[in-house]
Structure 1
Amino acid sequence: MKRLILPALLGLALAGYDSSHEETSADAPTQTTVSEVKSPTLPPMPAAEPEAAPAAAIAMTAPVAKPNRDIIYQGELDLAVNDFNQATTRINQLLELHDAYLSTAHETRADGQHRQEMTIKVVPGKFVELVTALSQLGHVENKDVASADVTADVLQTAKTLATKQAAATKLQQQLAKTTDKDEASRLQAQASQLQTDLATDQAKLQQIGARSTWATLRLRYYQPLAATDTDEPQPAFAPQFQVAFNRGWSVVLSIAVVLTNIWPLLLLSGLGTWGWRWWRLRHPEQA
């Protein structure tokens, strides 16, 4: 009996060991570390789109393009200076400093003044600065400055010029196609008139461009000339002696003028006297 019980107990023990081993094996996967567990790969999030800037902000930050303006500057400046040569030197320096040049110049010494008249050309951006600098060289007696915006005139003239050029091209095409002599003469007359108008408009644009490219300043400055009288006092009789000398010289000149007027009479008198004396020498008994 004992022999039967022992094998049975041994079999039960082995069966319990096998079941516990299987449970341990079944539970093993649940004991893995966190590091060994791979997290699922998520799709990337779409990047957030930048918000559109307000229109007002764009308008404030964007640079505003300034339209090109055609402005004509011109002026006149009259100065009285203490030192003519020094003022001339300083004017030449200011012209070089302000990118200006001398167009015309006229220097005179008359009516007790040493005077200079100049026509100066300067870029419009430095016109006012140059006038201000020149005004400090002496006493300003006259200053006139003016400007005129001719942008509208330039645009209108350019538009008219383009229209006339298109019309001239169209007339040339019609003239090439026509076979009627009268029609060709009419088209030729219109084309000639358009060419004249085009030349006039182009000259006007060039003139405005030249005047707006360089500002014009007419500068006049002068220095009074020193008196020629000496500083030493003259004797009291000196003026009277000078008056008497001038009067005597005037009398001599007057006599010379009178003799010049009666020179034929004097010549005839001289010839008569010489003839009478010659006759007396030849006929002493009759004398």
Structure 2
Amino acid sequence: MKNLILPLLLIICIHCSKSDGVASPRASADLVEVLPDDKTANFSKNELVPSPQEEPRENTPKKIDTISKKIIKNGEMRIQVSDIKKSLDQVNEALKKNNAYIQTEDFQNSDEDENLSLTIRVPHKNFDALINSFSNGIGSVLSKNISSEDVTEEYTDVSIKLANKKIYLEKYRDLLRRASNTKDMLEIQEKIRGLEDEIDVAEGKLRFIDDRVNYSTLNLSLYKEKIRSSATSKIGFGSRFGDSITQGWNSFISFILGLISFWPFFLAIPLIVFLWRKWKGRKKQK
């Protein structure tokens, strides 16, 4: 019996050792081959090639905005009307329709005419429509002058210089933070102050150009001449003759009053003549 058990135990041990010796080396080899590959792959993805979220913004190309056309439109109009007040109401109505407004207003009234001068600001897109509304229905257009000025090149030049000045300003500010002595700090601060002034001037110029481009300017003059109309022309010869007599008499009175205003000179003339004759008589006696 003992002779049978020992051979069986020997066979079982040999079988187990064979199965373990074949499977474990293969499995360990697979692990050795796979694990290093996975680690290398993860390293290259996470460290060698940064994700888009981790890339600094300074390395991304900035989009350069293209400047559209900058056109300044101005105009002048002189319109003869029969009633200044009524025409002004029509002007205000046209301004409301075109989102325009009156910037300045000047009224002059003389014996010969009435003149209302308006400086109007109107959105660029409504400029032509406003001109057309004034040309039709308000009165007789005596003169009209429309001009356009392309300032795109000037605007672009100022914009580029402004961008460069801002870059230099940031560089000087960075130098100021790293300055080690008072002399360097004062020199850098002076440079910064000069650049800030130049930047303010450039930005102000761009704002001025934008304002002139976005809102056109129209100088409108409403003119009413004070002359005899068709109604007054019906006055007869007698009335006109009486008006002429009155006007002549008023002119004569004005002349007399003008002469009277010179009375000191009239009193001085006889005195001068008397002194001159007296002096001449004495001269003859000698």
Bin for the TM-score computed over the shorter chain: 0.5 to 0.7
- Per-residue CA deviations over 1:165-205 (Å, capped at 9, x if unaligned) read 12111111112212233333322222121111111111111
Deviation at 1:130, TM superposition (A): 0.8
Q: State the match for 1:258 in structure 2.
A: 263
AA at the equivalent of 2:74? Q
Does 2:81 correspond to 1:95? no
Does 2:234 correspond to 1:233? no
Alpha-carbon separation, structure 2, partners of 1:236 and 1:105? 38
Question: Following superposition of structure 1 onto structure 2, how do residues 248-287 of structure 1 map, counting pairs within 5 Å?
Answer: 254=259, 258=263
Question: Following superposition of structure 1 onto structure 2, how do residues 49-198 of structure 1 map, counting pairs within 5 Å?
Answer: 68-110=68-110, 112-136=112-136, 137-198=138-199
SS at match of 1:206: helix
Deviation at 1:101, TM superposition (A): 0.9
SS at match of 1:208: helix
- Per-residue CA deviations over 1:82-128 (Å, capped at 9, x if unaligned) read 33333222111111111111111111112511111001111111101
Alpha-carbon separation, structure 2, partners of 1:67 and 1:193? 27
Q: Please tell me whether the aligned partners of residues 98 and 122 of structure 2 are also in contact (alpha carbons under 8 angstroms).
A: yes
AA at the equivalent of 1:190? K
SS at match of 2:238: coil
Aligned positions, number: 199
Alpha-carbon separation, structure 1, partners of 2:121 and 2:89? 18
Q: Please tell me whether the aligned partners of residues 67 and 156 of structure 2 are also in contact (alpha carbons under 8 angstroms).
A: no
Task: Give the fraction of aligned pairs with identical amino acids, expressed as a percent.
Answer: 22
Alpha-carbon separation, structure 1, partners of 2:251 and 2:181? 92
Deviation at 1:229, TM superposition (A): 9.0
CA RMSD of superposed structures (Å): 3.4
SS at match of 2:237: coil
Alpha-carbon separation, structure 2, partners of 1:114 and 1:220? 10
Alpha-carbon separation, structure 2, partners of 1:198 and 1:108? 43
Alpha-carbon separation, structure 2, partners of 1:155 and 1:97? 33
Deviation at 1:157, TM superposition (A): 2.1
Alpha-carbon separation, structure 1, partners of 2:223 and 2:246? 38
Higher Cα radius of gyration: 1
When normalised by structure 1's length, the TM-score is: 0.59
Alpha-carbon separation, structure 1, partners of 2:159 and 2:214? 17
AA at the equivalent of 1:195? E
Any stretches of 5+ residues in structure 2 without a counterpart?
1-65, 269-286
- Per-residue CA deviations over 1:121-166 (Å, capped at 9, x if unaligned) read 1111110111111112322222111222333333332222222112
Any stretches of 5+ residues in structure 1 without a counterpart?
1-65, 264-287
SS at match of 2:87: helix
